[in-house]
Amino acid sequence: MNKLTNDISEIILPYENMWIALTLDNKKVVDSDKSINHLVDRLEDKDIRNFRFMKVPRFAPVCMNII
């Protein structure tokens, strides 16, 4: 299979289960924090429109338990 265009797997590797702010081209992680509140607090002065926010999922598989 061809490389996916949405392949951010390498750059998010150090940030499992954390909030990250990416550059808008998804090429670089600018900042990270366990708390989105703290992350936005820090970046608000730099204009949050310059970043793309994401919570990095856990790297273990997830399933919803519906019982």
Partner 1 sequence: MIFDFAEIQSRSSEAFPNKTCLFRPIIPFRIINKLCPEKHFEMEAVIDSGSDYTILPLRLGVSIGLSINEGKTESISPIGSAKDVAILFYEVILEIKGKQFCSYLSFADEDDIGFPVLGCIGFFDLFEVKMDYLSRKIELLPKVKSINP
Residues at the contact surface with partner 1, assessed by CB under 8 A: 1, 4-9, 12-13, 24, 26, 35-37, 40, 44, 48-49, 51-55, 57, 59-61, 64-66
CA dihedral 13, 29, 31, 59 (to 10 degrees): -20
Which CB atom, from 27 or from 61, has the smaller least distance to partner 1?
61
Strands 51-55 and 29-33: unpaired
CB of 19 to partner 1, least distance (A): 8
CB of 28 to partner 1, least distance (A): 14
CB of 31 to partner 1, least distance (A): 14
